[in-house]
Structure 1
Amino acid sequence: MPKGKRTRIVALTRTRKKGLDSKKKLMDDLRSCLEDYERVFVFSVRDMRNAKLKDMRTKWRTSRFFFGKNKVMAIALGRTAEEEQADGLHKLSKALRGQCGLMFTNSAKDDVVDFFGKYVEADYARAGAVATDDVALEEGPLPDFPHSVEPYLRLKLGLKTTLNRGVVTLLKPHIVCRKGERMTPEQTRLLKLMNHPMAEFRVNLVAVWSKDGVVERLNPDADGEEDEEEEGSGAEDDAEDMDSD
């Protein structure tokens, strides 16, 4: 029987990009928050992790966090003195560069600065990250690894291993990574199996706006380094995740 003309093969990997409705909602939410909060911080994130961002939001339940396209957030606040939604906001918009977000809060500026100055969460490095120290495995038994992981170590991660009476045993020394070198996916997976974090999730406060119209630059060196076209990539999803109840 001939194949029907209506038959179509649809790739399940296709996703529909968010359009104007999503951008308009983000802008409306930002403008609404300007009425409810005394301060707005621009922050950048080092070693982005969505789970860590959600944990951070939990610690600041009375505040709101947004992580979206920089251009959209800048338009919402106002890019010029004529467009700004409140006095001084166009100066804050200029700080929206690279991978960054907005925090709306009624907390005192010093309390916010003090908290994020100390807030650091260790995490596992991702492929492409630079190793912070030398890590090596010595020849001999590796009792910290369960026996079930031995084939994975040998076949996927390239270690010379065997099982000796049920204990994973390394047949020759293995350099996991060297300080200052960028790591491969195999190296980062091995570090995770070793429970050896090499990344630090931290939030850098870039600038703050207060309702009196004053904008203060907090950390000019914290600006993101990503290209303008890539800034905030995929961030609108994060904004919804972080601010949904």
Structure 2
Amino acid sequence: MSVSKRDKKVSLTYTIKKGIGSNQKVLENVIKMLREYGSLYVFTARRASNEECKCAQNTNRFSMGKPKAMDGSLSHTKAEEQHKDLHKVSTFEEELFRRQLTSNPLDELITQMSSSSSNKSHARSESVPIEKMTLEARTLQEHAAKMEPFFCSLGLCMQMVKGEVIRRKDHTVCKQGVQLIPEQAGIPKTKSFKDHMAKSRLVPQGAYPRYGHFKKLKEPKGECLVPTICATTTTNTATTTTTKSNPQKPNKQIKEEMIISTSNEQEVQEIKTEKIDEI
């Protein structure tokens, strides 16, 4: 037998793509929910977990997943749309957007998200804590002895004395405004260290009422989808604010928004929203 047939190389990273067949159930589910509820809203999750969505489970349905997998449920063009202006939802969505189908009015939804969904929770990896957290040296009577190796792996100075877990010295978990690493984010999850260091919320971005026109909602002040650099130019008659994505990240979709406010007019006109591929 030749060497080429005897030594057969097999790639361990080779995978077979599942295709659209595996996502067919998801697509049918979104279409069914759209017929049942009628209204569809696009929102972003700011460090939010499933706990923030439980408050609206009775009257709402959430659809979360990759846009490419769920775009088949919504039409891409005006000729394919099931309802008026439904194709605008598909073109508006980005990777960070999620969908919510509900029968509640828009005012009630925004009030519910701003009140019930703006909660404090433990900080997760790569999030920025809102305050400094320091752990004092003491005996951890609420933890079993088997937890001592886990605490040591997180960087804490621990010791076992007569079956009790003791923290030998003070430990600074994080500092205010400094991004967390995975090891630091694992400490606040434990029972005795649990502290509210981050805020989580759901922010609505777009609204498609029952058989109506798609409407883009203005983002709250201080909320950004991606790291942005804001450039403001002030003149005697108008103020122009342009928001662009960070130029350090190429090959990424940019959300560019221009809003003009004139001193003679009180209304704010949104000119247009464009998505540009930066090379």
2-side partners of 1:216 and 1:68: how far apart? 22
Residues 31 and 85 in structure 1, CA contact (< 8 A), matched pair in contact too: no
Deviation string for 1:145-183 (max 9, x for gaps)?
5554334333x1232233456554333322111111122
Residue identity matched to 1:28: E
Identity across the alignment (%): 26
Residue of structure 2 aligned with 1:68, choices 56, 65, 69: 65
Q: Is the alpha carbon distance of 1:229 and 1:76 closer, same or farther for their aligned partners in structure 2, counting shifts above 3 Å?
A: farther
Q: Report the TM-score, using the length of structure 2 for normalisation.
A: 0.64
Residues 130 and 179 in structure 1, CA contact (< 8 A), matched pair in contact too: yes
Q: Between Structure 1 and Structure 2, whose CA radius of gyration is higher?
A: 2
Partner of 1:105: 102
Q: Is the alpha carbon distance of 1:182 and 1:223 closer, same or farther for their aligned partners in structure 2, counting shifts above 3 Å?
A: closer
Residues 128 and 198 in structure 2, CA contact (< 8 A), matched pair in contact too: no
Instruction: Please show how residues 125-164 of structure 1 align to structure 2 within 5 Å.
Output: 125-143=123-141, 145-154=143-152, 156-164=153-161
Specify the SS of the correspondent of 2:40.
Answer: strand
1-side partners of 2:25 and 2:104: how far apart? 25
Instruction: Please show how residues 24-35 of structure 1 align to structure 2 within 5 Å.
Output: 24-35=24-35
Q: Report the TM-score, using the length of structure 1 for normalisation.
A: 0.71
Deviates more, 1:21-30 or 1:143-152: 143-152
Deviation string for 1:197-239 (max 9, x for gaps)?
4343321111111234222222346674399989xxxxxxxxx
Larger relative CO (CA 8 A, sep 6+): 1 or 2?
A: 1
Residues 52 and 201 in structure 2, CA contact (< 8 A), matched pair in contact too: no
Residue of structure 2 aligned with 1:170, choices 152, 167, 171: 167
Residues 131 and 180 in structure 1, CA contact (< 8 A), matched pair in contact too: yes
Partner of 2:46: 46
Q: Is the alpha carbon distance of 1:79 and 1:224 closer, same or farther for their aligned partners in structure 2, counting shifts above 3 Å?
A: farther
Residues 98 and 225 in structure 1, CA contact (< 8 A), matched pair in contact too: no
Unaligned runs of 5+ in 1: 231-245
Higher fraction of strand: 2
Instruction: Please show how residues 1-12 of structure 1 align to structure 2 within 5 Å.
Output: none
Q: Is the alpha carbon distance of 1:93 and 1:224 closer, same or farther for their aligned partners in structure 2, counting shifts above 3 Å?
A: farther
Partner of 1:215: 214
Specify the SS of the correspondent of 2:22.
Answer: helix
Deviation string for 1:14-35 (max 9, x for gaps)?
9865421233333333333333
1-side partners of 2:17 and 2:11: how far apart? 16
1:206 paired with 2:200, answer: no
Q: After TM superposition, which residue ranges in structure 1, 4 or more long, deviate above 6 angstroms? A: 13-16, 226-230
1-side partners of 2:177 and 2:129: how far apart? 5
- Deviation of residue 190 (structure 1)? 1.9
Partner of 2:114: 117
2-side partners of 1:38 and 1:32: how far apart? 10
Residue identity matched to 2:109: V
Unaligned runs of 5+ in 2: 1-5, 228-248, 254-279
CA RMSD for the aligned pairs? 3.5
